[in-house]
Structure formats: structure tokens, C-alpha cells
Amino acid sequence: MSGLGGVNPFTVSVNPVGPQGPAFRVGQVLEGVVQNTGKELLLLVSGRSVALPPNAPFAGGQTVSAEVLRTSPSLQLRISPPVSQIPSEVITSNSTVSLALAPRFSASSVGANVAQVLNGVIQQTPQGPVFQAGQTTIPLASVPDNLVGTALSARFVETGQGSRLLVWQTEASATSAPTTGRSLPEVLGRIFQVFGQSGLAERAASLIPRALPPGEAAIRLVASLFLERGVGAELVERLVTLVKQGAASGVVSDDLQKRLLSLLTRTAGSESKELLAALRIAAQTSSRSPEAALARAFAQSEGLSATLADDLRSAIHQLRTSEPFRAFLEKTGQMQEFNTTSSSLIERITANQLQNLRGLETSYLYFEPAFVPGSGLSSAHIHAFGDGSGKQSFPSENSTVVLDLSTTRLGDLWITLSAVQGACSCVFRTREPLVAVLIDEHAPELEKLLSDTANFTYTQVRAVVWNNDRLSAAIDLFRPLEGIDTEA
């Protein structure tokens, strides 16, 4: 992002200390307060204390905005004056303007994700000024005259005064309103740089489905599946907590609570039987988009209410537009956490569905089940490739399944099960030599389990030690399908 209000931002890489608060997420823009203890400067943000270096150009008691650039291996923040202190006057390529939304509007009410970067044009309408980004229309309270008709980039931030829209002009937004006008490798280069993976950006085009709508936002969502891990379970857990608190306070109805908790927890499990059920549900959910379900509802008289009742995005939207619940969040100081959590979860669901556009190229299915604490799994990315018939067919005797797992006991595992004409080969990749030895020792038992479960005529299980470069492995996985080369 460009500097705020013409002030060069201060970027710092630190390790957060103090009480555990809500997890930081790349793309968040948070407001915090600088505290001077006499020995050091601390940034109090999102329930945590972040130690600032002695040369930080801030004073005790000063309020600042902190944009999360990365969370691993260390936390990197871009710290600037808060949006409430940024003048809404002339915009240049080196400044950002904070615009207030029209009364009664917020990021959630216009269906926008807080962390998403939008590219569009400010227009005057009979109802007032709006920021038009594709199909998204964001009503604004007022704008400087010189901004009308200007192509800009924008994103939402949550402040003490509610949602505001940050707008800035870049070379990309000035030349192209709905898209950034940059090639896929350039967009991936910027995205991967934030995550410290710039060395793999040139090879990463194979990760992007050819059918993906061109646009940086869509590309960023799909890339996040491979760059951000283990966020699904954390988001589910945080939203479940907020829903239960709202129900206990009487601002969330019993029906809505039951619906939300059912949708949020049905893809999470802690016991082996629950895990299998969670995997089946996650696969079913990923294989059919809500849009396809709506079409089926119209064609088969299934009923829109029944269709939408089974859609998590619809349930979250109902919660986000509940005035009693939002008033409860404002009163308890949890509005920002809820907005960030719900937006992140919707983004994750959308990214999952965008990744499944691979199904238009070949028999393919992707899903990311959420696992609760105690399950032995902290994250799982599962890729299923069918028989290559061009249909969404996954016969057990002619399919490949890749499981990218993070486990609590065995560490990270990359497991490839390939079945050809009833013969199955299963390869475990692990960075731990002792784990490889353990798997090889139990290979006969695992081979028998595979044979008994899927009636394979031949099974082979083996383990290899590797460098745990899961991103490269994912890139190589899709290399044969050839990525797109389009304008983003």
C-alpha cells in the first residue's frame, strides 16, 4: 500500500508478546496505541503488546494504524498514522485518502470482504457518490470533487467510527479500473513477496486454474490456500465462540445459533469416526457451489429456503446483518474481531470454490476440512484427481489423492495415493527420518488396510525423507495441467 497521507510508513518485524489475543492475519489493518514504559516502546494492538525498536518514529500515547504484512516466520507490521487522522483532500500516487461510507452502510452490508483490495471508479449518482468496483457498489457519504471519475484502488478498514474506505491511486488503478492490468506472474510476485516466498513466484502460475476470473483479488484468494495454513479451524473456533456469546445474551435466536453451529462444526472432528465424516462432508461441500445448488433448487423445486439453509456464507451474512447482534458486539468491543473473522472465513470458502474451477479442466476436487483441537491434525489440504475422463469421476481403482497434512505427533506429511487399474502405491513424504523409519516398519499393516478398505489388487506403502518444501510440491502437482497466463 502507498504511504498514508504522504507520510512514509514505518515497517517493523517483531515477535508479539503479552496476553494472547486474536490471531494476526495478513491484510488486516488495525488501530493501536503506542505506550512508552520508560525502557521501551510498545504497540498495543488487537489484545497484544508488540515491542517496537528504539528508532520507531512514534511517541507514547500516539494512536497508529498497523497493517499486517506477514505473520511467519516473524510478525511484520506497516505502522502509519491512523485513518482518522488522514485528510480527505487531494490524492496523489503517494497518499491514501480515508472516505466515510454513507449512513447505515458497512463493509458487510455491501457484501465486501474487509481485507480484499478492490479496483474501480468513484462516480456521482442521483443517490450520491459511490465507489463502483465491478458488480460491487459502495455508497459513500461524500468525496472531494477531484476524485469523481478517477480510477482507484480501495480496501475497507475497521475503525472506532465503523467501516471506512481507504482509496489510493496506483499505476495499475490509473490505467485499468476493474483489474490491475498486470500479468499473472507480476501479481503472483507481489503476493509471494508478502509471504517471503518470492523465489517461487515465477513457477507458481501452475497453481492458478485456467478458468479463474482474471483479477488480483481472485488470484490472491487461490494463492492464499497454498501460502496460509491452519487458518480454517482457528476461524471456525473464534466464530463459534462469538455465536455462543450472542445466543447467551439473547441477541442470536436459537434457530440461527443451531444453524450456524451445525454448519460451522460439521466439517470438524476429534475422533476417528468423526474425522471420516468430516472429510466426507468437506468433500461434498466443496464439490457443489451454492450457485449450482440454487440452479438445482429452481429446476427441481427443492426450495430456496432449504438450499440457502445449507450454505454457510448465507448464514454468516444473516448474522452480519443482525442489528441486535452487531449492537452486542459494539457494546462488548468485539466488532472488529467479528468482522475480521467472518470476512476471513467467507474468503476461505470462496477460495476453496475458486480452486475447484480445476474441475473444468480435469477430474479434480479440492477441500480443506477444519479440525478441532485434540484431533491430531491441525490442517489438511486434500487434492483428488480422477480418471482423466473429463467428468467429475473418482473411481477408487483409477484415481490419485494427495493429502498435505500437519499433524501434532508426526509433523508435516505429504501423502500421495495413486491407483491405476486396481493397484495402489502410497508414498509418505516426511522431513523426520524417525517418522520415515516408523512408517516403513508398519508398511505391511498399512498395505493390508488399504487392500481391505478399497479392494486393491496390489498395494505398496513406503516413506521418503524430503525437505518439507510443500509449496514446491504443490506447484509441481499442477505443472502438468499448465497454468494460465492472463491479465490479472
- The per-residue DSSP string of 284-310 comes to HHHHS-HHHHHHHHHHHT--HHHHHHT
* This prediction's pTM: 0.58
What type of residue is 188? L
Query: Quick one: cell of 93?
Result: 500516487
DSSP state of 207: G
- pLDDT in the model for residue 378: 77
**What's the chain's length in residues?**
488
- pLDDT in the model for residue 23: 61
Rounded CA-CA distance 163/113 in Å is: 11
- pLDDT in the model for residue 306: 42
| Contact in structure between 62 and 44 (CB atoms under 8 Å) | no
Q: Which stretches of 228-271 are DSSP H helices?
A: 231-248, 254-265
Rounded CA-CA distance 51/34 in Å is: 10
Q: What tens-digit pLDDT sequence spans the chain (488 residues)? A: 333 333 345 666 665 544 444 466 666 667 677 777 777 888 877 667 788 877 676 777 777 777 777 776 677 777 775 544 433 333 333 345 778 888 777 666 655 555 566 777 888 777 788 888 766 788 888 887 777 777 777 777 655 556 677 777 654 444 333 333 457 777 788 778 766 777 787 788 888 888 776 677 788 888 888 887 766 777 888 888 999 999 999 999 998 898 888 877 665 544 444 545 555 555 565 555 444 443 443 444 444 344 444 577 778 888 888 999 999 999 998 888 888 788 888 888 888 888 888 887 788 888 887 665 666 777 888 898 887 665 666 777 888 889 999 888 899 999 999 888 889 899 999 999 999 999 999 999 999 998 888 888 899 999 999 998 888 999 888 887 653 333 33
Rounded CA-CA distance 234/64 in Å is: 27
Kindly report each contact of residues 133-137 with a partner whose C-beta sits within 8 Å and lies 24 or more positions away, as own/partner.
Answer: 133/177, 133/178, 134/178, 134/215, 136/110, 136/111, 136/112, 137/110
First to last CA, the chain: 18
Radius of gyration of the chain (CA): 24
What type of residue is 335? M
DSSP state of 447: H
Q: Which stretches of 385-458 are DSSP H helices?
A: 433-441, 443-454
Among residues 246, 283, 272, the alpha carbon closest in space to that of 399 is found at 283
- pLDDT in the model for residue 407: 87
Q: What are phi and psi of 394, to 5 degrees?
A: -130, 65
List, in sequence order, every residue forming a beta bridge with 366; answer none if it has no partner: 383
- pLDDT in the model for residue 246: 94
List, in sequence order, every residue forming a beta bridge with 131; answer none if it has no partner: 122, 138
15-28 CB burial, b ≥16 within 10 A, e <16: ebeeeeebbbbbbb
- pLDDT in the model for residue 446: 93
What type of residue is 471? L
Q: What is the CB neighbour count within 10 angstroms for residue 235?
A: 23
Among residues 347, 65, 50, 341, the alpha carbon closest in space to that of 227 is found at 347
Peptide bond between residue 73 and the one before it cis (omega within 30 degrees of 0): yes
Rounded CA-CA distance 148/153 in Å is: 14
Among residues 2, 142, 14, the alpha carbon closest in space to that of 72 is found at 14
E strand or H helix at 312: helix 312-320
- pLDDT in the model for residue 15: 58
Rounded CA-CA distance 27/330 in Å is: 22
Q: Is 354 helix (H, G, I), strand (E, B) or coil?
A: helix
- pLDDT in the model for residue 282: 54
- pLDDT in the model for residue 295: 41
Q: Which stretches of 365-456 are DSSP H helices?
A: 433-441, 443-454
DSSP state of 111: T
Residue 375: Cβ-neighbour burial (10 angstroms; 0-12, 13-18, 19+) = buried
Among residues 53, 64, 1, 3, the alpha carbon closest in space to that of 27 is found at 1
What torsion, rounded to 10 degrees, do the Cα atoms 53, 6, 84, 153 define? -110
Kindly report each contact of residues 346-353 with a partner whose C-beta sits within 8 Å and lies 24 or more positions away, as own/partner.
Answer: 346/113, 346/313, 346/316, 347/113, 347/115, 347/116, 347/221, 347/224, 348/224, 348/231, 348/232, 348/235, 349/312, 349/313, 350/221, 350/313, 351/221, 351/222, 351/224, 351/225, 352/225, 352/286, 353/286, 353/289
Rounded CA-CA distance 429/414 in Å is: 5
